[in-house]
Structure 1
């Protein structure tokens, strides 16, 4: 735990600003949004850490789900707060004070520092949470900033001597409307309960998990496969309703001896076809040891991806996904991350003319466009002994004496001067396709600037 003033900083508009601060920093006169350089000038012993808004929002969503234990209507309030409509829920805990104390106790036990308030309206609860320093504080005694007004309106009201909500209420409503618009009166009415302010709860993310229990334990492989098929028939409609497809599924088999086994299936593409998924599951299910019997099976899609519905007609060829299923089957044996595919790259340099990508997370490219044939095997250049600018009649390569039967070329390839490639600093290369009398079809190149011959590839 850090003692003393502490702020979290975030870079905004090319300058670091205070994103969040603790009570000690507030007592030192700091506030949100002020430049970090000014904060250091006000408080020389200030400590700081970079803010992480993305993870903060993720934690806030986790906290929102936890808060549903008190009421079903829980929504986000800005970037750092929650708002709960506890109407009809407080009697379950005895009273409002008891429920609030239970919240505070559980948050403190989890190490979460939070400020809680309860009021008849959302606006009043927000005001008390952010500006009240104790219990039984009257709303009218709070500053006008507690009404969630824009900064420019707060400054304009302060110049007129209006600093408290009570001062604002005392001004005729028509005068406020003419001077500041309708927003000021709307915030006052929301805080006092004269105007309704609804809470929009966030819905829980869809849960893609199903399970089945058996009155009598099962142990045969075909029974487990049949049960998995029934689970897929329940899971796949859920995926279809959300226009999603499963990318990783986990089948958990619970045995009567309280042990369990898991079968993970990682798919090469999002899928929600029960028949295809079941066929891919069969190898993993065959490795399950039933022991004294299986009494429960659970299936969950732990990773899903969007899979929108597609319009098809009699002209288009239906994509049956044979290649994806093949990748998935091989992936269950060697790991789906070990299966790669070659994709064309925009470069005429042989070593840079392709990219290697994971087959499961990339799409096949269009047919490769190449003006000249390229070898199916490419390796680092291997020098051979030869003279002259034309392919040698006889040369030795990898301990073999070879004789040139036919040579086609040259194809001159110049280096890409904008790339710092040490292997191509020597200059241009003249490539030849050489067919030897011994049956080898090789890719040779000659470097004119520094006369030498090399073998770099082999044709089929």
Structure 2
């Protein structure tokens, strides 16, 4: 069977995707910033008719066409969209791969008859894509190189077994060679693929290297070229159908354990861990109930995950019985295998399990933990963040000891630059027994902070005779004494 390869080229993929979301009439261009200049990344047909082209500075484009509308390009979104098109293209054949950043390549050998032949397949492709607002150019030939050249320079189909006849009059640049090589070939008078095929091979190899003739041989079918389809993303879901309905909590938990073991094997194979799980229980009356579980850390240990389902499963209304169960990891994160040694501490995950249990009742976002921040101001030296999406910091560093409790500065009576020997704080008489300091802290002048408008602060660690260990500071620029915290 003669091998046949089809190529889809989307010349305006980025702009077509943007206009599908927000249609408009008139010239339109997407821009991307390069070397401190906004340049045109992709543009629609109306902008091309005005003489604009990709790579053109946006300022120059507006001078040629003042009515052009522009928006910022999203290359990552375009990549995701192309991957979605690749999944859609598997309706024509199972072997579909990416061809650069704006094309697809399909090995349609043996599948064209399902569409009434090659012409019928190309017509169906074009009509479906045009209905969705996408510009496309199609080519089909015996080789990947021939299909690529036809899609970009001729848009047609090469007869089986005769690739050179269809490619003879196409420019040499259609061989997927660098622009510099194509320009050099034109200077030598080799303008088309036919001219290149007739030229002596040895001088071409000495001047341009083996890549030029390799591309030529691939296009003509004299050298093989594979089409590698992208690997389908792993599916993290398992289910089980029951011959007889069940309704007891113990039975549901037993089957949940079986499903979890199968799911965790898949997670381990791909070195990932689940952060969110959904257990779906289908009843015999056609209804279904779901038990969602959000984990405080990525996990793939069924013995740790199973007890966390007990509360949700206990609240399920089984009705007349459950005849199907399905569990799916709706959110996963990388969880590579870690090397264990006799010196490494074993992480049991008890904190994460506790956070998960409490989070199912009050919400994971409401469980906070303190993490250090890059600031020498005491009030700004930490942040409060959700514990489920952060890790405990072991390197809390401070030039001097900091109090366990911080509160808004509370004024006390005192004078001079050293801590008062006696003072009243919170209606309690205090006497200074020992004082350590001062530690001068300057305000962050680049930030507006009403609490630090008094200027510099000289902090003292004061041990009182009453047993309280306080953190006092003096403001030399606006004399006064304040209590800012208390040590444990």
State the TM-score, normalized to the length of structure 2.
0.85
Alpha carbons of structure 1 residues 317 and 176: separation in structure 2 relative to 1, 3 Å: closer
Which residue of structure 2 lines up, in the alignment, with residue 283 of structure 1? 311
Q: Distance in 2 between matches of 1:369 and 1:45?
A: 57
Q: Which runs of 5+ in 2 are unaligned?
A: 1-22, 159-164
Q: Note if 1:390 corresponds to 2:410.
A: no
Q: Note if 1:143 corresponds to 2:186.
A: no
Which residue of structure 2 lines up, in the alignment, with residue 170 of structure 1? 198
Q: Note if 1:61 corresponds to 2:89.
A: no
Query: More displaced, 353-362 or 32-41?
Result: 32-41
Runs of 4 or more consecutive aligned structure 1 residues displaced over 6 Å after TM superposition: 134-137
Query: Pick from 457, 461, 480: which aligns with 1:428?
Result: 457
Alpha carbons of structure 1 residues 170 and 36: separation in structure 2 relative to 1, 3 Å: farther
Q: Note if 1:71 corresponds to 2:88.
A: no
CA apart distance, 1:457: 2.0
Which residue of structure 2 lines up, in the alignment, with residue 404 of structure 1? 430
Q: Note if 1:105 corresponds to 2:127.
A: yes
- Secondary structure of the residue aligned to 1:188 is helix
Alpha carbons of structure 1 residues 249 and 270: separation in structure 2 relative to 1, 3 Å: same
Which residue of structure 1 lines up, in the alignment, with residue 35 of structure 2? 13
CA apart distance, 1:405: 4.1
Query: Pick from 103, 114, 119: which aligns with 1:81?
Result: 103
Query: More displaced, 368-377 or 442-451?
Result: 368-377
Residue by residue over 1:106-125, the C-alpha shift from the partner in whole angstroms, topping out at 9 and shown as x without a partner, is: 32333333222222211111
User: Aligned pairs, how many?
Assistant: 456
Contact 1:349-1:413 within 8 A present in 2 as well: no
CA apart distance, 1:13: 3.4
Residue by residue over 1:118-142, the C-alpha shift from the partner in whole angstroms, topping out at 9 and shown as x without a partner, is: 2221111111111125677932222
CA apart distance, 1:59: 1.0
Q: Note if 1:203 corresponds to 2:231.
A: yes
Which residue of structure 1 lines up, in the alignment, with residue 186 of structure 2? 158
CA apart distance, 1:199: 0.9
Q: Distance in 2 between matches of 1:314 and 1:164?
A: 68
Q: Note if 1:413 corresponds to 2:433.
A: no
Q: Distance in 2 between matches of 1:243 and 1:374?
A: 41
Alpha carbons of structure 1 residues 67 and 420: separation in structure 2 relative to 1, 3 Å: same
Residue by residue over 1:225-247, the C-alpha shift from the partner in whole angstroms, topping out at 9 and shown as x without a partner, is: 11111110100111111111111
Contact 1:248-1:264 within 8 A present in 2 as well: yes
Residue by residue over 1:383-423, the C-alpha shift from the partner in whole angstroms, topping out at 9 and shown as x without a partner, is: 234445433634252xxx21114443243232345543533
Q: Distance in 2 between matches of 1:37 and 1:367?
A: 50
Alpha carbons of structure 1 residues 43 and 379: separation in structure 2 relative to 1, 3 Å: same
Higher relative contact order (CA 8 A, sep 6+): 2
Q: Distance in 2 between matches of 1:16 and 1:373?
A: 51
CA apart distance, 1:326: 1.0
Q: Distance in 1 between matches of 2:415 and 2:141?
A: 94
- Secondary structure of the residue aligned to 1:99 is helix
Contact 1:434-1:443 within 8 A present in 2 as well: no
Q: Distance in 1 between matches of 2:195 and 2:62?
A: 35
Residue by residue over 1:359-403, the C-alpha shift from the partner in whole angstroms, topping out at 9 and shown as x without a partner, is: 222222226455654332211112234445433634252xxx211
Q: Note if 1:221 corresponds to 2:249.
A: yes
Which residue of structure 1 lines up, in the alignment, with residue 54 of structure 2? 32
Q: Distance in 2 between matches of 1:120 and 1:41?
A: 46
Which residue of structure 2 lines up, in the alignment, with residue 94 of structure 1? 116
Contact 1:434-1:444 within 8 A present in 2 as well: no
Contact 1:7-1:46 within 8 A present in 2 as well: yes
Q: Aligned Cα RMSD in Å?
A: 2.7
Query: Pick from 349, 366, 369: which aligns with 1:321?
Result: 349
Which residue of structure 1 lines up, in the alignment, with residue 264 of structure 2? 236
- Secondary structure of the residue aligned to 2:121 is helix
Which residue of structure 2 lines up, in the alignment, with residue 332 of structure 1? 360
Q: Note if 1:307 corresponds to 2:335.
A: yes
State the TM-score, normalized to the length of structure 1.
0.89
- Secondary structure of the residue aligned to 2:441 is coil
